Structure 1
Amino acid sequence: MARNQKGYLADLLADEDAPGVDSSNDETSARATPPARPDRMRGNTLLGRETALARVATGEVRQVTQMLLDPARVRVWSGNARLYEHLTEDNCRELIDSILAEGGQKVPAVVRRVADDPAHDFEVIAGTRRHWSISWLRRNSYPEMQFVAQVAVLDDEAAFRLADLENRARTDVSDLERARNYAAALRQHYGNHMTRMAERLKVSKGWLSKMLKVAALPDMVVSAFATPSDIHLKPAYALAQLLDDKTRAAAIVAAAKVLAKQQAGRKSSGEPALAAPEVFRRLHLATQNTADASEPFIFQSKLGRTALSVVSSNRQGVTIRLHAGSGATEEDLLRGLREALAYLDDTGRNRLR
């Protein structure tokens, strides 16, 4: 998109500034004066301008100016699906290295002006990772780095669609982040009319319906996963359907509380987090009758192998299995036992009390 904009906007600005394009800012990249064109080419130029204008003036994009900005003066638009607080040096490392190798940011972000915030002049519509990476580089030995952006005039609905188009191509924007972004946009931009929203986004109504269902997952259930990126549409939609039943929902939330504690404990001790498939399995298992659940709880070692599992819990007591070859230490097994008992307590299956 950035390259196409650059090409046809260059045509528009070849002889004179296009009406409405902001070129007064001191940070605007300088443009070389183009050579005069022969008269025989002016007809083609005008035709090209009409085509370019038709592509630009689609009803929402009316102005574009490429600028070099201080990222500290640029905020991130709240309507974007990507959660800025989840960006880290690790998950932006490839982009950071690319910016360093190329001597700066080569692909412009898309921003729009803000007038209601004395601390910021612009907000990012598309290019959140680029903004985070440039900000990080400026704090870490590269204060000269500039945030390259194209300034566009967009209403909120157009900004949402533009950000969504970019995020669809990004594997690091989770289905849950996008789903919740859609749910907010449905209320804010489309008057809760899902059919209209699907038409504007050019997606199927059925697919959008599933995304909105996933958006309703309770925060407690989400906390059972190591990160939001673990929550993918297909298994999350199946889980969300189970939550429609109040009894099952209560069991899932109770299991999620236990899983959240386990994930926090594993993180603090440097152990690998429980993988998403295992979390989904345990949450589904929580909705089943105890007699039908062969292993309602599994504790894994640092090697990712099953070290301890709850085989059964009934009136006769609780049967726990310690698995050979897991690589777990005695301390690991004791922690696993405590987690297992906590799980049984929270799910009402502890027959030892």
Structure 2
Amino acid sequence: MARKQKDYLAGLLADDEPAAPPPSSEPVAEYKGVLDRQQDHVRHLRQEKLERRAGTTLLGRESALARVASGEVRQVTQLLLDPARVRIWPGNARSYAHLSEESCRELIDSIIAEGGQKVPAVVRRVEGDPDHEFEVIAGTRRHWSISWLRAHSYPQMQLLAQVQQLDDEAAFRLADLENRARADVSDLERARNYAAALADHYDNHQTRMAERLRVSKGWLSKMLRVAALPDKVVAAFPSPADIQLKPAYPLAQALDGPQRRAIIDLADRIRQEQAHRRDAGQPPFPANEVIGRLLRAGAVRSAAPAAVTIDGAHGRPAVSVTGTNRQGVTLRLHAGHGLSDEALLQRVGDALAQLAGDGRGLQR
């Protein structure tokens, strides 16, 4: 600071001497000019900062839009929907008809306590359906619970949904991933869902399906065997939800053998017994007891299956049955039978007729 300025400021701060006017206005003008230049510089810096920020924001916005357009980033849309305008995708394993207030009670109470859903359902748009705009891919229980609440004193409740673009195969895989974590989705429901998907999405190629689902081929094969349980056998259980993979798989194997008819007949009798017990207010036979009875019935019937052999000329065998199961009948045509081709085919027909009479014929 200049000497004249120091003296002037010292005079202003002095207590024992009267303040004196500045000897000249030149130092004040010089000091004011410095302040003006500093303020101009600060304003200039601020303007540059604003321009850089605007440019960066615009550039960032353009970059984000470019990433969305390229598919690198997906936009996630969440909507609040009237569940009446949302249908259930039939490719989901969960049986909507078997949901109830009791099975959804915990979820219903959670939605009430929190004022709505916290986890959105996954939906996709549908076309050509005047009654529905979306369909649920994952979140069937959430849809059911919101629908129930709207009909029971909570008409303001809406379905929180995340909209995604998915083809059927991707929708199946997404729904399957969610259902694997749900204890209330039975193995039979999932197994039948897999059987339908195998034909619909994977051209009946089990290896390809296992790779896409990231499960073992052996495990998938067992699920598909359980999926083939006849409806008459399923009806013998207290509920389809009681049929689990590990205990049901031996039963599915037994149904591929000659004891199939005996198992199905007993299953129908057990179904009638279950109905009588329900009417009398008694608990039904549990699943493990049903499976045990069916397996024992099959074992008795198949303990000593009658051999089927059809003779040809001179008492020599012409046709014999070497195996029967659900997939078909294995026949052996013997050499030295002494028959014409036409006569041999007649013997084949005789062998199949005998199998049918024993309840082991081909399933048409």
The alignment status of 1:180 with 2:192, answered yes or no, reads yes
* Separation in structure 2 between the aligned mates of residue 260 and residue 75 of structure 1, nearest angstrom: 33
- For residue 227 of structure 1, report the CA deviation from its aligned partner: 1.0
* Separation in structure 1 between the aligned mates of residue 176 and residue 199 of structure 2, nearest angstrom: 16
* Separation in structure 1 between the aligned mates of residue 243 and residue 91 of structure 2, nearest angstrom: 20
* Separation in structure 2 between the aligned mates of residue 209 and residue 238 of structure 1, nearest angstrom: 13
Classify the secondary structure of the residue corresponding to 2:122. strand
* Separation in structure 1 between the aligned mates of residue 67 and residue 223 of structure 2, nearest angstrom: 36
Classify the secondary structure of the residue corresponding to 2:160. strand
Aligned to 2:237: 225
* Separation in structure 1 between the aligned mates of residue 109 and residue 184 of structure 2, nearest angstrom: 17
Aligned to 2:335: none
* Separation in structure 1 between the aligned mates of residue 178 and residue 163 of structure 2, nearest angstrom: 16
Would the aligned equivalents of 2:68 and 2:75 in 1 still touch at CA under 8 Å?
Answer: no
- For residue 44 of structure 1, report the CA deviation from its aligned partner: 8.2
The alignment status of 1:144 with 2:156, answered yes or no, reads yes
Classify the secondary structure of the residue corresponding to 1:288. helix
The aligned runs of 1:1-353 (5 Å cut-off) are 64-245=76-257, 247-289=258-300
Residues matched between the structures, number: 252
TM-score calculated relative to the size of structure 2? 0.64
TM-score calculated relative to the size of structure 1? 0.66
CA RMSD of aligned residues (A): 2.7
Classify the secondary structure of the residue corresponding to 2:236. coil
Would the aligned equivalents of 2:116 and 2:157 in 1 still touch at CA under 8 Å?
Answer: yes
From the superposition, tell whether residues 141 and 209 of structure 1 become closer, same or farther in structure 2 (CA, over 3 Å). same
Classify the secondary structure of the residue corresponding to 1:154. coil
Would the aligned equivalents of 1:176 and 1:214 in 2 still touch at CA under 8 Å?
Answer: yes
* Separation in structure 2 between the aligned mates of residue 286 and residue 56 of structure 1, nearest angstrom: 59
% same residue: 65
Unaligned runs of 5+ in 2: 1-51, 304-364
Q: Which digits, 9 at most, give the CA deviation of each residue in 1:153-190, with x for residues without a partner?
A: 11000000000000000010000000000000000000
Classify the secondary structure of the residue corresponding to 1:289. helix
Unaligned runs of 5+ in 1: 1-35, 293-353
* Separation in structure 1 between the aligned mates of residue 235 and residue 71 of structure 2, nearest angstrom: 44
Classify the secondary structure of the residue corresponding to 1:143. coil
Q: Which digits, 9 at most, give the CA deviation of each residue in 1:60-100, with x for residues without a partner?
A: xx663101111111110000000110101111111111111
From the superposition, tell whether residues 56 and 99 of structure 1 become closer, same or farther in structure 2 (CA, over 3 Å). farther
Q: Which digits, 9 at most, give the CA deviation of each residue in 1:116-167, with x for residues without a partner?
A: 2111111100000000111111111111110110111110000000000000
Which one has a bigger Cα radius of gyration? 2
- For residue 267 of structure 1, report the CA deviation from its aligned partner: 2.2
* Separation in structure 1 between the aligned mates of residue 124 and residue 227 of structure 2, nearest angstrom: 27
From the superposition, tell whether residues 42 and 280 of structure 1 become closer, same or farther in structure 2 (CA, over 3 Å). farther
Which structure dedicates a bigger proportion of its chain to helix? 2
From the superposition, tell whether residues 98 and 288 of structure 1 become closer, same or farther in structure 2 (CA, over 3 Å). same
- For residue 261 of structure 1, report the CA deviation from its aligned partner: 1.2
* Separation in structure 2 between the aligned mates of residue 207 and residue 56 of structure 1, nearest angstrom: 35
* Separation in structure 2 between the aligned mates of residue 202 and residue 276 of structure 1, nearest angstrom: 30
Runs of 4+ in 1 over 3 A off after TM superposition: 36-57
Amino acid at match of 2:240: P
Amino acid at match of 1:204: S
Q: Which digits, 9 at most, give the CA deviation of each residue in 1:25-82, with x for residues without a partner?
A: xxxxxxxxxxx9786688888888888899977xxxx663101111111110000000
From the superposition, tell whether residues 243 and 106 of structure 1 become closer, same or farther in structure 2 (CA, over 3 Å). same
Would the aligned equivalents of 2:232 and 2:267 in 1 still touch at CA under 8 Å?
Answer: yes
* Separation in structure 1 between the aligned mates of residue 69 and residue 274 of structure 2, nearest angstrom: 53
